[in-house]
Amino acid sequence: MRSVQSTLLYKWFDEVWNKSDEDAIDGLMTNDSTAQGILTDDQPKGAEGFKIFFKDFKSRFHDIKIDVDDVISQDDIESARTTVSAIHTESGKNVRFSGMCMVKIVGGKIAEAWNNYDFLNLYEQLGQKLTPVESQKQT
């Protein structure tokens, strides 16, 4: 039987997000790690870059809890299915959305990460609507 609690991703979500330990980011990511789906290519790599996302998300939400629903681990790759719960600071609304994260591990740390979270669902819970961009007229 799989032990979700013994995985690096479980440790990541528990320490960084559930315990809100920003210092854990430095200990769990390589200096040049990437975080696809979270950071843009022009942002710094490694913990420095991830902390941009971490601080921004925490400025918008509090009481963040990430449940690790399942983790599959093989060789140097782990993939986790998660559920995020939080309170939107500005509106006071409770939000809940799901996502998946896959990481490549080098030397016991996250070297590459691919993130796919249902941020559209999050924004809809906050009352935002997806609207098409009107095409611009050519002159």
Q: Domain extents for the chain?
A: 4-125
Instruction: Return the CATH number of 4-125, one of 3.10.100.10, 3.40.50.10210, 3.20.20.370, 3.10.450.50.
Output: 3.10.450.50
With residue 70 as reference, give the H or E element that holds it: strand 61-74
Question: What's the whole-model pTM score?
Answer: 0.88
pLDDT band for position 4 (50/70/90)? confident
Whole-angstrom distance, CA of residue 134 vs CA of residue 8: 44
Question: Quick check: 1 pLDDT over 80?
Answer: no
Lookup result for tokens 């609690």: 5
